[in-house]
């Protein structure tokens, strides 16, 4: 069975959720590193640590949900590329789990779940579905080309 009902499918989903979190933090770290390097070049020496901290806090708050949405799209497309007809559902499950994780983090650190957090969770879930759908279409196109 090649869907999400067997053990391999759920392991793939959990691994994909972990990969989304790791990829979004890696992207945020890369953005902060580029900012730090630009500060160092401008200062011709050691960059201002307070400016780096302010930028990292702002970037984490403002960019992290969007980096998660991008990461969900990429990881869902990659993780569900071999599932053919179930790829969109697989991507939706990945996106929904990351969205729930995002809402949980907002609740844990902000103390409440606001409209912005709820909407971002929906965007993240939709991004997962879109990644799975893209993989499904690519798989369908590859299958059509192979059959011809």
What are the pLDDT digits (tens) for 30-83?
999 999 999 888 888 888 889 999 999 898 888 888 899 999 999 999 988 887
The confidence score (pLDDT) of residue 144 equals 58
pTM of the full structure? 0.79
Question: Backbone dihedral region of 76: left (phi > 0), alpha (psi from -120 to 50 degrees) or beta?
Answer: alpha
Q: Distance between CA atoms of 69 and 20, rounded to whole angstroms?
A: 9
What does the domain layout of the chain look like in residue ranges?
7-147
Q: Distance between CA atoms of 125 and 140, rounded to whole angstroms?
A: 22
* DSSP character at residue 82: T
The confidence score (pLDDT) of residue 4 equals 46
The confidence score (pLDDT) of residue 20 equals 93
- How many C-beta atoms surround the C-beta of residue 107 within 10 A? 13
Each residue's pLDDT tens digit, 115-139 = 888 899 999 999 999 999 999 888 7
pLDDT band of 145, cuts 50, 70, 90: low
Each residue's pLDDT tens digit, 91-100 = 999 999 999 9
Q: Please answer whether residues 76 and 135 qualify as being in contact, where contact means their C-beta atoms are separated by less than 8 angstroms.
A: yes
């Amino acid at each position: 069975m090649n869907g999400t009902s067997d053990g391999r499918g759920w392991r793939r989903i959990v691994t994909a959720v972990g990969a989304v979190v790791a990829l979004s933090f890696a992207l945020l770290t890369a953005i902060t590193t580029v900012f730090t390097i630009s500060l160092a070049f401008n200062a011709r020496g050691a960059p201002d640590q307070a400016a780096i901290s302010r930028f990292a806090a702002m970037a984490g708050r403002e960019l992290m949900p969007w980096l998660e949405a991008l990461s969900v799209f990429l990881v869902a497309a990659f993780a569900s590329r071999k599932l053919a007809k179930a790829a969109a559902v697989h991507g939706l499950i990945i996106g929904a789990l990351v969205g729930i994780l995002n809402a949980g983090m907002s609740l844990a650190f902000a103390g409440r779940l606001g409209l912005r957090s709820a909407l971002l969770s929906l965007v993240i879930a939709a991004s997962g579905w879109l990644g799975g759908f893209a993989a499904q279409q690519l798989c369908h196109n590859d299958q059509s080309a192979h059959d011809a």
